[in-house]
Structure 1
Amino acid sequence: MNMNPFKTMTYKRTLASILAASLIAGASPAAFGFPAIEKAAAATAVQTYRVVPQAFIIDDYKYSIPTINIYGSTYIGIRSLNEKLGLDITWNVNSRTITLDGRGRKLTANPEDGSYVINGQRTYGDPALIYKGSAYVPLRFLLERMGYGISYEKGSKTVVINTIEENELTVALGSIQENNDKQTLLVNYPVIEDLKDKTVAGKINTFLKQEAESYAAAGQKDLTKATATNASYIKKNPGTTFPKVTFEGVFNVTYNEQGRLSLYVDYYSYLGGAHGMTFRVPYTFDLNNGELLTLKEAADYNSKYLSIINASINKQIKERKLTLLAPFDGIKSNRSFYLKHEGIVIAFEQYEYTSYAEGMPEFVTPFEAFE
């Protein structure tokens, strides 16, 4: 299998952009990690939320469930999830963490620092919160990682949740790591297990491991260079201190249906400056042969797939009232993408069209648009 031909930029260009953006943002040695973690302190500082009943349809049954809207996201009480979705949910008094168990997944949320761990891997999203003795979690973030589809019916103002019928496989955790007092490297990558076709599983696993090793090697090179640069600065400016430089890879499986597997790896690099940067590398596999799908193949070979996706993105930009750094000029056929239950996803890279605060906005074009 060849290296992924659908990346929008090479690793070398990406890391150079990350370093430049970090330096432009400021020379302060303060490091913040992934943007979502920065919201954890804000969550604890806010004292009052408005809890409102929201209409839900969960696997064809109607419910009214208390929700909170914060950060532009809908939060739902985990007690309701326990009752309606059948997830096993526990609260650990000692670690003050919430654990949700079900569908072959185990997700632990820490409301105090905003972190999540799913099947042994730390991941990132808007932080969970405790309000008036009840725990709330961001609905879409949680459901997409626990194997549920979510949509919204505007007419009836109803949130619709469906249990997804997934391919028979499990995803284990592989990792590459190196840690010392100056720098930290941790690259996680998925390992496909329990797939009936062992040859296909082996093909995909070999490719993903090679990809992880390639990114880790390039990341290590940049960490070493940044560490030397910091040491040189400290020598000239005694008393100056810098946090560890960091390179981290975290994967997220976004689609495991209809004989296809889609995921992305978020690579976060902090090399100095006011904050780190994240770039996203997606992969979508055909589980029949282990090959990567092109965007055109994912769009069912529709001859107008690019214009359909570009029109969809433009519409969503207007509906969401996104402020762009530059006009959106459309995607090309080699654009990176991934799949979700609802459709094909195009994500903007940080600073590609939007500010750092916007993160990496996702734009979903429904599969039905290509029929």
Structure 2
Amino acid sequence: MWREICLNNFVKMYLPFTAEIIVLEEPYKKLAIFYCDLDKDGIKEIVAAYTWQGENYIIVLKNQYNSWYMVENKKTNNYREILSNIINKENNLYAASIKTVKGVKWGYINDKGNLVIKPEYDFALDFQENGLAIIEIGGFYGIINKEGKYIVEPKYYSISEFSEGRASVIDEEGFKVIDEKGKVITSKPYNYIAMYREGRALFGNPDKEGNYLYGYLDRQGKEVIPAKYEFANNFNKGKAVVKVKEKEYALIGINGEVLNTYAYYYVGDLRDGLLPFQANPEYKYGYIDESGNVVIKPQYVLALPFSEGRAVINNSENYINKYGVIDKTGKFVIEPKYNYIDLLGENRITVGKAIDEEKPYIGSKYAIFDTDGNSLTDFIYYGVSNYNKGLASAFDNKYTFFIDLSGKKVNRLPSVQGVGILYLKNNIIKSDVDFRVSYLDTKGNIIWQQNTIIPLNNKYSVQEKKYRPNRDYLVYYPEVKGMEDKNVQENVNKKLKELSQIIDIPDNVQIDYNYFGDFNIEFFKNKLLVLEINGYKYYFGAAHGMPTKIYAHIDLTTGKFYELKDLFKEGSNYVEVLNKIIDYEIKNNEDYYYVYPDGFKSIKPNQPFYVDEENLYIYFYPYEIAPYAAGFPTFKIPFNYIMNIINTKGNFWKSFNKS
């Protein structure tokens, strides 16, 4: 592989004597040279941007029979756009999923919908501009290139997206920084490392007294500004706002030099030359300039940073929001009377009215305004994304689609039924709608979508069905196919619909909660199919929702749904046996530190459970024996621990074991 210095010297051989390769400043300083297969003939070309005699040029070099020659050398005023298009075309692989007996697996397709990298990952993110993608296998994250080769083996608990050629990773020691080759460049682990901005990454660590302090790393992973701030922000245009101590904030430069100090309880991010501030916790918010002069006197309950000469404020005195938009003089561009407002970029604003004024926490219905305060649409959308090149994604009660700068639906581009967001790149539309990712062309033809039929073997399959009666209610539920007795199959599928919470929901009524349900195949062997049926119900305004998890153990011959008791011999007192095992694990296995003291008393005879080929798993619901954050505490009990009480002649055991 070419090194940057080698590419630079090689390309210069084909340039005029005084020409210089352009240095790109974003996303980080880098020579404008790219080694990529432009014509898709399997042989990579060299593309470079250079300046000569005050003009900018693009040159393309091609290799044929181990000999390089120039195929293009032209003057241009928009080399950035040309290079961006080249990068996008070179990275035209897209993360795509399939549903299998072993769960959802991710791989990568090309723009024709052909699988280029086989689906073997538990999760996969899109390729970034540097030609690298983050994948996950078995709870660990790694990085691959476009050939599917590992740059970083799956070994990290987390990997951030690359920014300025760097990514933060987390292992058992803490946060670290890696470069694009996967090399760790930090000399020690940290408690926190943010993404790089302008050559600096915010990091956090506790000091000897346990106080959490922030500093900054440079692109070499060195502590260029030591950890000494109680709070800190990312750099923006060479400046960052930091909290030095109580009632003392500072504006610092890229090397930590103090540009100004502010004696206030709170000072927010610097944007458009102004900073939101609060003198004391009981006071309202206003805005100061970089010198600390009060430009807009304190008068707001909430004040957000400026963007495009506008800032969102809130004047609510109770649970009824009063969001508005001001200009840099404090004059209202949009009056403070709305449930929610967001700046979308490209001089557009989304303004939300409460769906139910008595229950504003349910959400908003949105209209598009411009930054002069002109209303461009009625309140017709339930969600709107930021604008990008004149387009934003929006959804109403039934469809997700693109809107233009006038706020109107773009009819030349397709709509997708459901709620979510659309992205347009390289004339390919990525649809992330109703918790499923698919790809379409600009005419609406499907390039790729996740399969809905999951073969178990040559006889049986599970079909994914979708139920969305209402914007706030969505369930994917299973239907079993291939059973010999169709009446039994019908009864099985009726039961699965009940377990999946397929209930009557009116399509024109606002319910006071959101519900999402889905399923996975947990285990299949011989005649036994184990389906994991998940749900999550969130009442609007609550601190969090409540998850549910049910495992259906189905005999594909008889249609019986097995219960825990069916696994054991009659009179075996399996409850007491399992209680002793679980109690021992809680007391002796540090993995169960989170269980409430004396939280476990006994399992129920019909305790939630599931099985695989070698183990029984007993699990509990959130709050049952442990805090909500512990999720579903689960205890793995190998069958060989309890073989003396298992009914090996029973139908449950025989459904997945040889007689």
TM-score (norm 2): 0.30
Q: Counting helix residues as a fraction of each chain, which structure ranks higher? A: 1
Query: Which one has more relative contact order, counting CA pairs under 8 Å at least 6 apart?
Result: 1
Q: Counting strand residues as a fraction of each chain, which structure ranks higher? A: 2
